[in-house]
Amino acid sequence: MVIKRILRTTVLMILGILILGSSALLQGNETERVRVFTRGIEFDYVSWAFNAIRIKVDQFALGTSSYLSPTESHQIVVEYLDLVAKVQNAENHLNDIYADPNISNPEAASLLVRQQLQVLRARRQEIGPLAESIIQSQISAVAEELGLTVGGQPIPPVLYHSTALPLALIVSPRDIIRQDQDISLEPDLTADQKNDLESQVDQTLNVSSLVVDIGGIGIYPTMVIQTSDLDFLTEVVAHEWTHNYLTLRPLGISYLNSPELRTMNETTASIAGKEIGQAVMERYYPELLPPPPPESAQPGESGGTPQPPAFDFRSEMHLTRLTVDKLLADSKISEAESYMEEQRVVLWNHGYHIRKLNQAYFAFYGAYADQPGGAAGKDPVGAAVRALRAHSRSLADFVNRISWMSSFEQLQNAVKQYSPQTGVTIQPSHS
């Protein structure tokens, strides 16, 4: 019986790799001009996938997580998060030692740190798969409670593996903000290597490109960033599982058909990821929930002197996107690019250290439109997705309804009845 279950799971995972799409996988022949610059540094998904399958099959064979009490499960996850934090701190310390010009022999100076890292990594590797199995089970239980399962089973099952994630090279035209290419790269490129690659692509192809960090990739099992932030981890795992869920339906199958459909997919996954992740935290880890934001002081409360408004990143980014769209629409490409660099400096001086702000930046981040404003600008797609969620009886109703859509027009028609109340503008996207 156990062998049959393992074989069934293995077949399911292999089929998943073959049929489930990913927002970060190559998109066809149009990538070839860009791949001239990336072939030697592209991420190897095949090797990663088979290693993840091996880990998951081994964990299924042991079945340890099903015999743990809730208290034991909680302790294992918390220990794993602590190990991730300690490994990251030790790695940062090691990097500092080798970068410190005052240390003449970094190899000798780092001996103790390297020994500690070896022990920490070994323990993380030992309990990591078990912690993943526990979190998978917890997200599955919440998905069942929310009505996102068939016969109590998420389809496909929730499976993820935490790992160092590939980087993504995003390419947009210069005269309009639109993601044309998304190529996965090895995860350990330096800042200089990123800049050099972007310069080569931009100058040769007359495009706007940017190498970005990502939090997860919806292949199967899904790839999820290694983090000690459980609130973020559960959200990302649920986000990427939602992509798997959608890929078995028209919306996910149509992911690459248009910029509007990409935004519909990403915004739906963002909404579902946040709601499922929040529910997991409330049920299993309430003590680890982040504290609510402090209430803003009213004018005059601090000595009677009105305080200047706090810097609002989303508002500033929204204004920047609107201005850039207007400049590009007027064919003022150089002016738009100069303006974005000026705004990047403004954001940097307020603590938001963005390495490069360009058309590719907005093309990538603008698709995640689960909140108003921000990098999406006036794009109506995110607003329409949010309107559909706001007027759905439950998360399951929302996800199941939008998952069967294969065009932005279908979404527009679905929210027309709500537009007077929500302020959704029913118009074609500019992308």
Q: What is the mean pLDDT of each run of 10 residues along the chain (431 residues)?
A: 46 48 50 91 91 83 75 95 94 86 88 93 92 96 95 91 93 96 92 92 96 90 93 96 95 93 96 97 93 60 62 93 96 97 93 93 90 85 94 96 96 82 43 36
Residue for token pair 């519909």: 264
**pLDDT at 303 (0 to 100):** 52
**pLDDT at 294 (0 to 100):** 66
**pLDDT at 296 (0 to 100):** 52
**pLDDT at 128 (0 to 100):** 93
Strand 160-163 and strand 222-225: the pairing is parallel
**Given its phi and psi angles, is residue 287 left (phi above 0), alpha (psi -120 to 50 degrees) or beta?**
alpha
Whole-model pTM: value is 0.83
Burial class (CB in 10 A: 0-12, 13-18, 19+), 8: exposed
In Å, what is the CA distance from 256 to each residue of 181, 282, 307, 381?
A: 10, 35, 47, 15
**pLDDT at 60 (0 to 100):** 75
**Given its phi and psi angles, is residue 352 left (phi above 0), alpha (psi -120 to 50 degrees) or beta?**
beta
For residue 170, give both structure tokens.
């995003």
Q: How far apart (Å, rounded) are the C-alpha atoms in residues 286 and 128?
A: 22
- Dihedral sign, CA of 126, 128, 131, 132? negative
Residue for token pair 């938001």: 352
**pLDDT at 161 (0 to 100):** 93
Q: How far apart (Å, rounded) are the C-alpha atoms in residues 322 and 375?
A: 9
